[in-house]
Structure 1
Amino acid sequence: MPGPAAAAGEAAGAPSPGGESEAGRDGGAGDGGEAQAGAEGPVTPPVRVGGPWVRCYGNFRLSGTPLQDVTRLSLLCGPSNGMRRYSKEAVVGVVGAGKPAVTAPVPLRRGACYRVFAVGDGGIGDLEVVMRSSRGVAIATDAGEDAWPIVQPDRPFCALDDDDAVLEVSARKGAGRFAAEVWVLRSPGVR
């Protein structure tokens, strides 16, 4: 159960096992690695890759209770990185390999950066988490094959525009219960 730590060792922008770089998978949402500037000035705050974004979950271990585990994981990694909980409550459900994904709406705001923490129970071998834009494009995904993915493991993903995104949670291997939370890092002036 290595969790996202395996992906944390990969260099930012390095090709995934499928050969696609992180930048190519984000659908233009921005990776938080640099400030994005436009005609109205900076859109997203500069966010360092790695470091505290990775250290926070180094000693995390599953207890077998997804809701408690996702709360512990997000509290280890959220506040220490200046983030606060964005989802009003955890997204919970049951997923299984070959079954439809559980979805939840997530309104993204221009200039805000996000992380999704998810934890599956012992029956799930690979919990898959994807944030999709309102156009169905994958904005951010987890990079590992584990039961407790973080989207993204080494930094938050940032929204370049307001969008009514959708969080999708599914199982690639196994079946069981899961819980997920969305956390936000807002830049000054973001509503």
Structure 2
Amino acid sequence: MADPELLIGEPLALDLINTRPVGVDLLESPAQLADWLRLESDRLPEPPPRQLSEADVAAVRAVREHTAAALDAVRNGRRPPNAALRVLADAQAAAPAIRRLDWIGGELAETVARLGDPGARLAAHLADAATTLLTDPAVGRIRQCGAQDCVMLFLPAHPRRQWCSPERCGNRVRVARYYQRHKSTD
């Protein structure tokens, strides 16, 4: 397998799941979580916490693992495990969302804010992203990368898409095919 690297650009919940390629966890430390959050910052409702703790990493990883379990069940036509649904709901409840009015650009606007400490708000937002993904009708189109040694998931914009990334796995598969074709003709 190629060196593990962060893969972003899919729905946020898939990007989170994709932080665990085979045998590797790309969110083992507060520094690694901070790096991932920087890459995803334009998709977060607020800046990531300045100081991340091991507890924040554990909360995000719990959301990730239970999102993955629920997604696996839904993709295979099964009911998600109760534990997965409970953990996602608990993450959301730990930082309740409130609707409020704010004066923005000279007019009233409704905004949603989460209460609680920054780590709980982060886990709640990621659980919200999981909820959005799991209830989206497009969830049935999510695929696993076609490269033999890759477990990354993606939501194809084009029905012929086979790989998580043309640069990451697509090139490796094409090079391997080329090598096999030319090896057999030698």
Give the number of the structure whose residues are more often helix, by fraction. 2
When the two structures are superposed, what TM-score results if normalisation uses the length of structure 1? 0.32
**Higher RCO by CA contacts (8 Å cutoff, separation 6 or greater):** 1
When the two structures are superposed, what TM-score results if normalisation uses the length of structure 2? 0.32
Give the number of the structure whose residues are more often strand, by fraction. 1
